[in-house]
Amino acid sequence: MKARLAPGQVEEIRASAKSSGVLASRYGVSATRICQIRQGDAYLARNREANRKWREAPDNRAVTRQASRRWRQQNLERAREAARESSRRWRAENPRKNSEQDRERSREASRRYRAENPEKNSETSLRWARENPAKALAKVVKRHALKRRVTVGDMEAIAAVYDRAKSASRVRCAYCGMYPKVGDRHVDHRTPLCRGGAHSAENLCVACSSCNLAKGRMTAEEYALACEGRGA
């Protein structure tokens, strides 16, 4: 039980001569909690020391790391403040490693980076991605393609294919010839990137999701043959 005590109640508990059981039911907390409060800082210090030992035991490190990651995700604001506080402390303890000169240098570097990459500014780029979903998706795919050292074609033409998949009122699946609904349209590489296909408008087509999934790593020609074989 970890009920929150109102300000002042901790002092009342410390000052009271009543038994911990009585106080527990009066304040809606556990008797253990009452004991902790009465022992105050000594208890906390003892506990902190024991916790630290446990956390730092090699077997528990992974558990701890995972738990703190979870905590940070659930307490974004507090985690950020804690990180800021910890770097403030670190800077105070390591003045030489963080001279004004160093800080100015890194400020300058990030200024330069922001100026050269205006789209990397998170707010601007999020807004841009919301307003240009097809282009944003095209960019993500381009990044993947570049990572795989694939030839990348003209981005305008590529974005136009994504745009067609997203907003055209009617568009045929390149494979089965049906007219998939908007949410059911995929942009497919006729020759997959993993098979040496280029990321270019010429190699892109709009397909219905079931053709695209069935096609998998096949080229368009292989998929056509496979469909014939099935009598489809």
Q: Binding residues for Zn ion, per CB under 5 A?
A: 173, 175-176, 208, 211
Nearer to Zn ion, 72 or 172 (CB): 172
Dihedral angle computed from the Cα positions of residues 104, 105, 106 and 107, in that order, rounded to the nearest 10 degrees: 40
Least spacing, CB of residue 193 vs Zn ion, in Å: 20
Nearer to Zn ion, 35 or 178 (CB): 178
Cβ atoms 13, 35 nearer than 8 A: no
Nearer to Zn ion, 138 or 220 (CB): 220
Least spacing, CB of residue 119 vs Zn ion, in Å: 34
Nearer to Zn ion, 5 or 224 (CB): 224
Least spacing, CB of residue 173 vs Zn ion, in Å: 3
Least spacing, CB of residue 215 vs Zn ion, in Å: 9
Angle, helices 122-131 vs 133-147, to 10°: value is: 110
